[in-house]
Structure 1
Amino acid sequence: MTRPLVTILDDEPEIRSLLADVLEEAGFDTLSFGRARAFEAALATHTPDVCLVDLSLPDTDGLTLVHRLALERGAIVIIISGRAQVQDRVTGLELGADDYIIKPFDPAEVVARIRARMRSVKPATKTGNVATFNGWTAHFERYTLEDEAGTETTFSHAEGEVLRLFLDAPKRLISRAQMQSSLGGVASESFDRAMDVRISRLRTKLREDPKNPQLIKTIYGAGYIFLGDVTWI
């Protein structure tokens, strides 16, 4: 069985070595990089399952890289950073990161977070990886939403997780607890905030009126419900 590949991008050699050792012992393959340029060059020949990314990189802005990874690669992106401010965490999640781990960290927690995120990446429960609904087509194999005119808008891996959850259970209430259980998160204020951010971004990409969305409805105090007519291809 192929071992999942985790890439580690951090300019501190000790952290790269620590993470590589604990991850390989836990059953993952790893590739480590101290510079974003070398990391991005490696993506031409390697397809990581998970990208661990430090924000304080010497040759690029880590947040810009996170956003590009989330939109273009479809990989699970986990930020590992010494930036502990709430705004840094919110910005990272808004740009498409799946999780945010603050330094110093317990290596066992990193392994647990990776496994939790990978458990949430499940194969389609319906036939195929394409769903149509209300004039839209969601292509999960290439992370795009296509409208009736054929115009495509990309969505991140994290946004795709939430969208698939809705499309797998249309017209049924999905509570915060169900989201946390299905997506492998930890019940917390930051998890709730991450869900709010992802749903807001999905609404924008689906061109919903933020004051009166027609597809993704908020049921205050209970959760969300997706009102589209969904067909899996």
Structure 2
Amino acid sequence: MQADAAARILVVDDDPGIREVLCDYLSQHGYEARGCASAAEMDHALAARSADLIVLDLMMPGEDGLSVCRRLAGKGGPPIVMLSAMGEDMDRIIGLELGADDYLPKPCNPRELLARVRAVLRRPREDAGDGPALSFAGWRLDLMRRELTRPDGQPVLMSAGEFALLRAFAERPGRVLSRDQLLERARGADADVFDRAMDVQISRLRKKLDDGSGLEMIQTLRGEGYMFDMRVERLNGAGR
């Protein structure tokens, strides 16, 4: 796919063997992949040129992956696929909670990583052309710029996964969406079903949608899924 071929990926891992294998494999499939041995090296690379996606190791000397993930997500940085040799459910949950867009245990199969990378990179292209903006209860979700603005005009920083999840809700107000439907829409069809991780994503999104008004925008329907209980208006122009 031509759009994928232009994507620039940073593989951040202190293991030179893993960096080389993953960079070579991604490069063979049309990506511009570069390895970074540390968070500091990653920062230097990002300062020189932006990246479309970061493959990030959890356990690194110096600043670890969780700290990097939190920092990049807080600045609205590129999507992150996190890798962890620990492979525990709790590590996955923490990574997703801090803003990672997907997660793979190490050692990972390069083919599986490629599938996850494609799924994450696919979302911005799909999101970019379907309409200018959605509005609900004074909030504004800009589908072109991928931005969320509070009723008071303040921007809300969101990870790519959070944006995709909110869009899935806002484009289907009043409809019950199962975890499977949300995972496929917000995390890509190649992601496996992971109910607890989705609960974490929903919790993060609820916190970001809390403006003190007491509105419970995302309703939980036990045994069925979730529903965006708001009236949503599609805005035709770029103005607010």
The answer to whether residue 40 in structure 2 is matched with residue 33 in structure 1 is no
Once the two structures are superposed, what CA deviation does each residue of 1:33-61 show, in whole Å capped at 9, x if it has no partner? 11211211221232222100012222212
**1:144-166, CA deviations, whole angstroms, 9 ceiling, x for partnerless residues?**
53322223332222111100111
**Structure 2: tracts of 5 or more residues without a match:** 236-240
Would you say 1:180 and 2:183 are equivalent positions?
yes
Give the Å deviation of 1:187.
Answer: 3.9
Indicate the residue corresponding to 2:162 in structure 1.
Answer: 159
**2:131 aligned with 1:123, yes or no?**
no
Equivalent residue, structure 2, for 1:46: 49
Say if 2:131 and 2:143, in contact at 8 Å, map to a contact too. Answer: no
Instruction: Determine if the alignment matches structure 1 residue 13 to structure 2 residue 16.
Output: yes
Q: TM (normalized to structure 2)?
A: 0.85
* Partner residue, 2:238: none
**1:66 counterpart residue number:** 69
Conserved? CA contact 2:58–2:84, under 8 Å = yes
CA contact (8 A) 1:143 1:154 kept: no
1:75 to 2:78 alignment: yes
Paired with 1:48 and 1:168, the residues of 2 have a C-alpha distance of 29
Q: Output aligned runs, 1:94-133, within 5 Å.
A: 94-121=97-124, 122-124=126-128, 126-128=130-132, 130-133=133-136
Structure 1 match to 2:200: 197
* Residues 56, 81 of structure 2: 8 Å contact kept: yes
Hey, what does 1:220 align to over in structure 2?
A: 222
AA of the residue aligned to 2:94: T
Taking a change above 3 Å as real, the CA distance of residues 8 and 58 of structure 1, as seen in their structure-2 partners, is same
Secondary structure of 2:35's aligned partner: strand
Check conservation: 2:11, 2:34, Cα contact below 8 A: yes
**RMSD between superposed Cα atoms in Å:** 2.2
User: 1:142 offset after TM fit, Å?
Assistant: 5.9
Is the alpha carbon distance of 1:77 and 1:141 closer, same or farther for their aligned partners in structure 2, counting shifts above 3 Å? farther
Q: Secondary structure at the match of 1:217?
A: strand
- Normalising by the residue count of structure 1, what TM-score does the alignment of the two structures yield? 0.88
Give how far 1:92 is off: 0.7
Partner deviation per Cα, 1:60-84 (whole Å, 9 max, x = no partner): 1220101122232442201112122
- Residues 38 and 8 of structure 1: CA distance in aligned 2, closer, same or farther (over 3 Å): same
Distance 1:85 1:56 in 2: 13
How many residue pairs are counted as aligned between the two chains?
228
SS in 2 for 1:138: strand
Distance 1:45 1:131, change over 3 A: farther
Structure 1, gaps ≥5 residues long: none
Taking the aligned partners of 1:222 and 1:213, their CA distance within structure 2 comes to: 21
